[in-house]
Amino acid sequence: MILYVNGDSNSTAIRHGGDWPTVLQNYFNCELINQALGGGSNPRILRTTADFLDQVKDTASDYFVVIGWTSWEREEWTHNGSYYQVNASGVNNVPNELKEKYISWVADKDSVSQIDKSRILHKEIIDLHYKLEKLQVKHLFFNALMPFQHEVLVADKLRFNWGNNFIGPYENDSSYHWYLKKRNFVADNWYHYGKDGHQAWAEFLIDYIERNKLL
């Protein structure tokens, strides 16, 4: 088995080691490929995961895919052949030619736009789930920061049946951040947890994976 991880900064390596992907790697004694990126968007996660699956399609069933989805408002822009991750952290993320567009994007960002993006991404993540099933790739999704934000929060009939492949997609307290916060782990000003939080999340994931016989 090869462990493939994607997500935002909550799924990247941390200082002095002990991040949850590495804990899983050591526990399952497997190779780790981690394509998570700090500040990354869900469109980036979808794009890079799809690209990776295309590269390994002949051996895709050898992989276990674990993805931590980030907040819904983030976007990925393309400019002169390069990809830029767009979030609220500042104009330094984009080239000068896109700074005016970025300032307008921040000004226009509101709860309605987040709801709209959540609705679109919900469908795209379902499509990825189906693709993984078709390729016979074992996989597990979770939300790093928040659940989906559109009408699925209040209308059960609109919710998708993920089986055991998504941890609490419509529940705030099942997200990585709130799971740890509710257990009194302390995050920094950027909502990042330290080694102790990563260890606790890894133990939760291991228990979930084994209880649900995902491997």
Residue 107 is predicted with a pLDDT of 84
What is residue 110's predicted lDDT score, i.e. its pLDDT?
Answer: 76
- The CATH label, of 3.40.50.1110, 1.10.1740.10, 2.60.40.10, 3.90.1150.10, for the domain at 2-73+109-211 is 3.40.50.1110
Q: Of 92, 69, 93, which is closest to residue 83 (Cα–Cα)?
A: 93
Tell me how far apart the alpha carbons of residues 70 and 94 are, in angstroms, rounded to a whole number: 19
13-34 pLDDT, tens digit per residue, is 887 789 999 999 999 999 999 9
Strand runs labelled E in the chain: 2-6, 31-34, 63-69, 75-79, 82-86, 138-143, 166-167
pTM above 0.75, yes or no: yes
* Segments of the chain scoring below 50 in pLDDT: none
Contact 69, 128 (CB under 8 A): no
**pLDDT at residue number 117:** 94
61 phi, psi to nearest 5 deg: -70, -10
Question: Residue 51: its pLDDT value, please?
Answer: 98
Domain boundaries, the chain: 2-73+109-211
Give pLDDT, residue 112. 75
The DSSP string of 9-65 is GGGS--TTS--HHHHHHHHHT-EEEE---TT--HHHHHHHHHHHHHHTGGGGGGEEE
Q: In the beta sheet, which residues pair with residue 167?
A: 142
Q: Render pLDDT for 174-188 as a digit per residue (tens, 0 to 9).
A: 999 999 999 999 999
